[in-house]
Amino acid sequence: MPCIEWTEKFELGISQLDEHHRHLVDILNNIYDCYQDENHETVLENVLEELLKYTQYHFSAEEQLMQDTNYPARREHTMEHDMFTRQIAQFEQDLFDGKGLLALEMIQFLGTWLLRHIIDVDKKFGIYLAAREASCPHQ
Ligand SMILES: [Fe+2]
Going from N- to C-terminal start, the domains of the chain cover: 13-135
Q: Which CATH superfamily is domain 13-135 in?
A: Hemerythrin-like (1.20.120.50)
Q: DSSP 3-state assignment of 73?
A: coil
- CA distances 8 to 5, 12, 62, 63, 111, Å, are 10, 9, 20, 23, 17
Residue-wise pLDDT tens digits, 14-59: 999 999 999 999 999 988 888 777 666 677 788 888 999 999 999 9
- pTM for the full model? 0.89
What pLDDT score does 15 carry? 93
* Separation of CA 118 and ligand 1 centre (Å): 7
> What are 48-76's pLDDT values in tens digits?
889 999 999 999 999 999 999 999 999 99
Residue with more model confidence, 104 or 100 = 104
Please say whether the beta carbons of 55 and 24 come within 8 A: yes
**If you measure from the C-alpha of residue 111 to the centroid of ligand 1, how many angstroms do you get, rounded to a whole number?**
14
Kindly tell me if the per-residue pLDDT of 1 is higher than 60.
Answer: no
Please report, as a single letter, which amino acid is at residue 123. K
Cα–Cα distance list, 85 to 6, 52, 129, 137 (Å): 22, 7, 24, 34
Alpha carbon of 17 to ligand 1 centroid (Å): 9
